[in-house]
Amino acid sequence: MILEKFYNFFLYVIKRRPAKFDDPGDWLGRIDFDVELLPPKLRDRPLDFFAGHSRDLPTAQLCLGRYITTTLRGRSKEEQRAEYRKEENAPGRKALAWLLREYDSADLSANAGFLKALVHCMTKGESHAWRGAVLRFFVESQTYWAQGAEGINAALRTFEYSWTFAVPYGEDWLSDPLVVPKQRAGVWIFRQLLFKGANLRADTELFDQFILRLRHWRKFTDQCIMRADLLRVHPTKPTGLPSLEFIRRFHTAVPRPIFMRHFFDSWNGFGFMLNSAKLLETEGYKKEARWVLDIGLLEMPNHFNPQARYVQGKSDRLFGYEATNPGEKRPVRDDRQKARAAYLSDGATVRIF
């Protein structure tokens, strides 16, 4: 009887937590800075900066941010497009031309907020050039500017097309102009499909092709987990069987792989187990669903404890940093590291915009 209550709680009672990851373009609403930081002549005409000779990337970022916010305010996407298309505006073209005048002096790893805004402006005009992290920003901006279901499909299509630029991997090839690192863009698309409901609008063929590409940019164990995650949210034939296969395969492995130790000690692992059990139950695999919950209770007793989840209202107080480091504050990275990491943030760290 007690075990049946346990099954019912995790299969029917517990609610899925809202995803913390952003929708496409959410960062636009966070562009906020003191207009006093700009010289008076640039506050009303921020694009004039790119006609000058200054090489100050932070000011360039502020000017693009100022233009984006003033154009965004009170306008629909079509009205924004009209502003971006005007010859006297063309923010992406002007900013890119300014950047390329003396590209070697620009430290985009520390000033990538400018790069993110630049890609946003250039994508609107169906004009783009990317390398490395730019592909990541490009697929988000492309999703934002596209209409309806075409958004995530445009991103999937671009990601697939980027593989046509593949070159042999090796140290000698890292400077090749056709090398386009794809991991950041792939992770962003994966999160949109898994957490933000983009799977419901995805083209089935593009979705399947994205799964097949996992082997090219993720290590084997990550491929297995991500493939199982994506097949659970497949647009036409969702199934929890690959998740069940993954758990059976690696749970019984001797010796236990290190990644499985981390898996059973994480909230991501808890979500994987719970969502797999729920879908298996929905598909009619009731015995298998309960087996997954049994393994979860065995391997993750703290996570699969209904009472513990509601103590003090926050589970992280029980199982987070403070629990394993009593009396210590969570370590804070230095400012330089924050600045270099912020531009790729999806919600977990500080942001440029």
Query: How far is it, in rounded angstroms, from Cα 136 to Cα 130?
Result: 9
- Alpha-carbon distance values, 349 to 38, 169, 183, 184, 342 (Å): 26, 30, 18, 15, 6
If one counts every other C-beta atom within 10 angstroms of the C-beta of residue 92, the result is: 21
- Alpha-carbon distance values, 339 to 158, 331, 350 (Å): 28, 16, 8
pLDDT per position as a tens digit, 169-198: 555 555 565 667 788 899 999 999 999 999
CA 328 vs. chain centroid, Å, equals: 30
What percentage of the chain exceeds 90 in pLDDT? Answer: 38
Closest CA to 325 of 336, 337, 317: 317
DSSP helix/strand/coil, 22: coil
Both structure tokens of 140: 């988000």
Maximum mean pLDDT: which of 8-17, 54-63, 237-246: 237-246
Both structure tokens of 310: 């509601």
Terminal-residue alpha carbon distance, the chain: 52
CB 57 within 8 A of CB 92: no
Residue 110 has pLDDT above 60, yes or no: yes
pLDDT per position as a tens digit, 291-309: 999 999 999 998 998 765 5
Q: DSSP of 55-66, one letter per residue?
A: --HHHHHHHHHH
pLDDT per position as a tens digit, 235-257: 999 999 999 999 999 998 888 89
Q: DSSP of 305-320, one letter per residue?
A: -TTGGGGGG-THHHHS
Both structure tokens of 218: 């993720």
The predicted model gives 63-77 an average pLDDT of: 89
Query: How far is it, in rounded angstroms, from Cα 124 to Cα 93?
Result: 11
